[in-house]
């Protein structure tokens, strides 16, 4: 598993790992150049914060009720949907509120010692993609593929961090990844 994750880090054309403050309201972008013509951000394409909050609420409600995920989500946390929304928004090119208010170390800390299984990781990803449709977000293949790639990568990072017994065993990612449109990708994180 660690090999797959470290290989993901080499795919810089899929995300810009910049930690710069993001002026999301001018996000007409994925950057031009080798990634192709400029486009609106994934954040804008999704419908902004309101749409992403709706997505995270649908997902979180499903996760709380799911028998496979129940040990990871034993009860509703009052700010969990907001935190999920902030993370996804920032990752998709929106405001950097997650980084400013919580910081990436918070994300590492909340996953430590969860011991996420392959079944739980796969179920999380499946429910997330199911929730995407149910929350009424765009269903065009480029967007769904980018979300699929994002959630597959994120669940692998979370799983690795959940089993780490020392900082040396953590995934090397230390900031919110900035996800971009993926030309020609099949959404698996491999294209």
DSSP string, 69-104: TTTT--S--TTHHHHHHHHHHHHTTS--HHHHHT-H
Any idea what the CATH number is for the domain that residue 89 is in? 1.10.490.10
Task: For residue range 28-84, list pLDDT tens digits in order.
Answer: 333 334 445 558 999 999 999 999 999 999 999 999 999 999 999 999 999 999 999
Evaluate whether residue 70 is within a structural domain: yes
Evaluate whether residue 22 is within a structural domain: no
What pLDDT, on a 0 to 100 scale, did the predictor assign at position 3? 32
Evaluate whether residue 31 is within a structural domain: no
Q: Are 9 and 173 in contact (CB under 8 A)?
A: yes
Range of the domain at 133: 42-179
Evaluate whether residue 152 is within a structural domain: yes
Q: How many domains does the chain have?
A: 1
What pLDDT, on a 0 to 100 scale, did the predictor assign at position 166? 96
Angstrom distance (rounded) from CA 38 to CA 150: 20
Structure tokens at 43: 């954040």
Evaluate whether residue 35 is within a structural domain: no
Evaluate whether residue 190 is within a structural domain: no
Evaluate whether residue 130 is within a structural domain: yes
Evaluate whether residue 96 is within a structural domain: yes
pTM confidence score: 0.76
């Amino acid at each position: 598993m660690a090999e797959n994750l470290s290989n993901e880090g080499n795919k810089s054309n899929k995300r810009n790992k910049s930690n710069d403050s993001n002026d999301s309201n001018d996000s007409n972008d994925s950057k031009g150049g080798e990634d192709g013509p400029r486009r609106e951000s994934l954040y804008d394409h999704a419908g902004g914060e309101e749409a992403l909050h709706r997505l995270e609420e649908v997902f979180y409600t499903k996760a709380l009720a799911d028998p496979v995920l129940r040990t990871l989500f034993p009860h509703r946390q009052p700010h969990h949907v907001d935190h999920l929304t902030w993370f996804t928004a920032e990752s998709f090119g929106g405001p950097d509120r997650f980084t400013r208010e919580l910081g990436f170390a918070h994300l590492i800390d909340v996953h430590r010692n969860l011991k996420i299984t392959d079944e739980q990781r796969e179920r999380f990803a499946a429910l997330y993609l199911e929730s995407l449709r149910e929350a009424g977000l765009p269903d065009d293949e480029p967007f769904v593929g980018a979300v699929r790639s994002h959630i597959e990568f994120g669940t692998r990072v979370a799983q690795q961090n959940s089993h780490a017994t020392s900082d040396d065993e953590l995934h090397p990612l230390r900031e919110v990844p900035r996800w971009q449109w993926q030309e020609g990708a099949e959404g698996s994180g491999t294209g």
